[in-house]
Amino acid sequence: ETGVTQSPTHLIKTRGQQVTLRCSSQSGHNTVSWYQQALGQGPQFIFQYYREEENGRGNFPPRFSGLQFPNYSSELNVNALELDDSALYLCASSFKGGTGVAGELFFGEGSRLTVL
């Protein structure tokens, strides 16, 4: 186990709704990244938060937004859900020191979102 916990584990939404997914980082980590994994595909980078600020974003529209809290936990919010948003959403925590990249990521078990 990595110590990264995500909630909820499964949820079903309808098109147009909004969803919030939550993640608690591993102790000692200061960076949280979110990835979307469609069925049969590799994870795709959504964005990363470091010191409560967005620190890099992948090719996802603005309706994907996030937050990182002072205790390094994080939320992923998706507005105006579309059918293609159905996927496994993975949170990963890591430690980033100074100007270096974070390196190894520790993943949670994911939140599986189904949009009907």
Partner 1 sequence: SQQGEEDPQALSIQEGENATMNCSYKTSINNLQWYRQNSGRGLVHLILIRSNEREKHSGRLRVTLDTSKKSSSLLITASRAADTASYFCATQGGSEKLVFGKGTKLTVNP
Q: What are the respective helix, strand and coil percentages of the chain, to the nearest 5? A: 5, 50, 50
Q: Give the nearest distance from C-beta 60 to partner 1 in angstroms.
A: 11
- If binding is defined by CB under 8 A, does position 22 make contact with partner 1? no
Closest CB to partner 1 among 4 and 81? 4
Residue 90 and residue 6: Cα distance in Å, rounded? 8
Query: Which span (15-23, 35-43, 67-75, 78-86) binds partner 1, by CB under 8 A?
Result: 35-43
- If binding is defined by CB under 8 A, does position 25 make contact with partner 1? no
Contact yes or no for 19/8 (Cβ under 8 A): no
Token digits of residue 112 = 């599986």
Among 56, 61, 79, 83, binds partner 1 (CB under 8 A): 56
- If binding is defined by CB under 8 A, does position 53 make contact with partner 1? no
Contact yes or no for 61/47 (Cβ under 8 A): no
